[in-house]
Amino acid sequence: MNAILVTGAAGFIGFHVSQRLLDQGETVIGVDDLNDYYDVNLKRDRIALLQKSDRFQFSSLNLADRSGMERLFATHQFSKVVHMAAQAGVRYSIQNPHAYLDSNVVGFLEVLEGCRHQQVEHLVFASSSSVYGANRKMPFSVHHNVDHPLSLYAATKKSNELMAHTYSHLYRIPTTGLRFFTVYGPWGRPDMAAFKFTKAILEGKSIDVYNYGKMRRDFTYVDDIAEGVLRTLDKIPQPDPNWSAMNPDPSSSQAPYHLYNIGNNQPVELLHFIEVIEDCLGMKAKKNLLPLQAGDVLETYADVDELSKDTGFEPKTSIEEGVRHFVDWYCSYYNISTKSSVAL
């Protein structure tokens, strides 16, 4: 039976995408190296939920393991590949640059090689809003140039887009890159804002708020992200007949290649995001206001018109609803009672 490969299946977005695919009746092969960048128990618990389905198989594998990846693709007949695995985090890339090259560049090369030799129908891979870097024209559009990354993480994601295009051009492998915008929600990563802020507030600890809370982010709920991934997976890219080598559009090509933004299309100031968490918890945050960190950008704002036009995608989850779902999950997962829940 043809299966769909999901790399990073134990990760935040990979887990949600895998669950949605299983819910649709697909057979999913999940791969993850279960590294200790954050709590491995959280990753194992995600996999345990997926393993409740007899249509899910899991393999612990580092994508940079060439022989292991060759065996994986030789063992299974993948119809499509969803590549969500990556070493994440902007600030962590400043302290640990080699982890990003190994995972995000070498690992992605092995995924591309597997797709080439097996001639998969479609490779959908995770890029990031970080590729917009020094760009300040809002909203960010896939038609904009993105040659000025501000972190090594962003540079590796830009390199993924270039590598995918090369394989689409050389081997006619249909590839689609998805630039995710600040994803949050249940089962989220401990290094991201919603998780860090919620944990600190509940523990009575201060939270570091960079750029004095004046940054704006296009916070996007994970269910909306997963919906966009699945819609894109069914939209196999075709060569763009209108693409011009004299005026090249970065989002499409003469090859079967396309780029999309997936965001909420509604930037929120960081201080407001914190206020919503405070309201859900019934507790106030102790804020440690700090200047802008190296590698950070001031604002993200996704133009999702292209994705909406091609797939019908529309973000549906408000920041208030999404944060409530996250806080409810966090308190349930860690068995915590809050002032807000007691009041209810």
37-52 burial: b if 16+ Cβ within 10 Å, else e = bbeeebbeebbeebee
Q: Regarding beta strands 216-217 and 268-269, do their DSSP bridges make them parallel or antiparallel, or are they unpaired? A: antiparallel
Dist. CA 177–CA 160, nearest whole Å? 8
CB atoms within 10 A of CB 326: 23
Q: Rounded distance, CA 167 to CA 103, Å?
A: 18
| Separation between Cα atoms, residue 101 and residue 152, nearest integer Å | 9
Q: How many residues does the chain have?
A: 344
- Known catalytic residues? 153
DSSP codes joined into one string, 11-45: SHHHHHHHHHHHHTT--EEEEE---TTS-HHHHHH
Helices (H), 119-238: 152-171, 193-202, 222-233
- Give the count of beta carbons closer than 10 Å to the beta carbon of residue 60: 12
Joined tokens for residue 262: 């997936």
How far the first Cα of the chain sits from its last, in Å, is: 48
Which residues have C-beta within 8 Å of that of residue 95, sequence separation ≥ 6?
A: none
Task: Return the number of other C-beta atoms located less than 10 Å from residue 337's C-beta.
Answer: 8
Listed in sequence order, the residues at least 6 apart from 163 whose beta carbon sits closer than 8 Å to its beta carbon are 105, 108, 109, 112
- Alpha carbon separation from 86 to 33, 110, 171, 272 (Å, rounded): 10, 13, 24, 29
